[in-house]
Copies of this chain bind each other. A is one copy, B any other.
Amino acid sequence: MSWNTFGRVLRFTTWGESHGPALGAVVDGCPPGLALSEADIQPFLDARRPGQSKFTTQRQEADQVRILSGVFDARTTGTPISLMIENTDQRSKDYSEIAQAYRPGHADYAYDAKYGIRDYRGGGRSSARETAARVAAGAVARLVVPEVTITAYVREIGGDAIDPAAFDPQEIGRNPFFCPDPAAAARWEPLVDTARLAGSSLGAVVECVATGVPAGWGAPIYAKLDADLAAAMMGINAVKAVEIGDGFAAARLSGEQNADEMRPGEAGGSAPQFLANHAGGIAGGIATGQPVVVRVGFKPTSSILTPQRSITSEGAATDVRTKGRHDPCVGIRGTPVVAAMMALVLADHKLLHRAQLG
């Protein structure tokens, strides 16, 4: 089944192919009265936009967003917000080869196996270009959760991780890697450049932290906040792994080590001060009031210059090398997408929470 809507009460639907005339998102359920213009969305699209450094694809897209509905007198009206981004740099000729052969690691074969037809230009609907629509929708979602601060950054590229002790949030915007550790950013420059020049690619781990999420958001049993975050992140192109809090490392701790002990909170009442956050801010699917911490593993870009063994759509053996313009490390530009999905999940859960709790 084709399924292009996400969310339960704050819902968004995306549409569009890599090389069609445009792509977009329809955001439904947004509260009315929020100040919203293209200028609130564009910076987030700009952060994801290709062609801004040599470490990302050289496709040139302005990624200018237009608001087509749902806003009146510069405020949201509560009706659906239609967002559209035109495709301007499509170069269909670059992609002629993949019409015939399945690129390993891409969804070419899977789409054909499912649908028997695919728009092969630039990967069509399976292109990471679809995530531009999510980023636009995420910018709207952020306005719904002004109490929350979302920070996303690359934690690791090609196995080379940041030093958590050197974490500096100001640094994230100062380098082309969304890297919070200047020393790591310096190391990544030759690392990524070498992969780029070799026509190879690297994986990455992206971390996203949301602070200010009130205790109580979330939803047992089958819409747990962590389950919804896992779906949101795993659905991003090239993502293969998701952790909450300590994640897999928690599987190697004892119960004593993993405990998030509590002391009375400074504000009084029953809100505790937690002495640790192994849980990543979520217990039983519900936010505890601690920072919500998610870690996301991106595989290396599947498009590489080295010829790979594959087959044609008729089943004949062939070799494939992808010559187009590609990201040497797709996790970099995935970072604003991770942040957008965090905003979208939290905004949905805020509204769900007040539906039941008032």
Contact = CB atoms under 8 A, between A and B. Distances in A.
B69 A116 contact: no
Interface residues of A, number: 160
A219 interface: yes
Contact of A80 (B13, B116, B226): B13
A186 interface: no
A332 to B, nearest CB: 12
Interface in A1-38: 1-6, 8-9, 11, 13-17, 20-24, 26, 28-33
A97 interface: no
Contact of A230 (B29, B156, B233): B233
A311 to B, nearest CB: 5
Contact of A109 (B72, B114, B288): B288
Contacts of A183: none
Contacts of A15: 26, 68-70, 79-82
Contacts of A297: 243, 247-248, 250-251
Given A109-B272, A304-B255, A77 B240 contact: no
Contacts of A285: 107, 110, 235
Interface in A244-266: 244-248, 250-265
A13 B16 contact: no
A357 B31 contact: yes
A156 B252 CA distance: 9
A44 interface: no
A183 to B, nearest CB: 19
A104 interface: yes
Given A15-B26, A20-B68, A219-B2, A242 B241 contact: yes
Given A270-B311, A316-B264, A216 B110 contact: yes
A43 interface: no
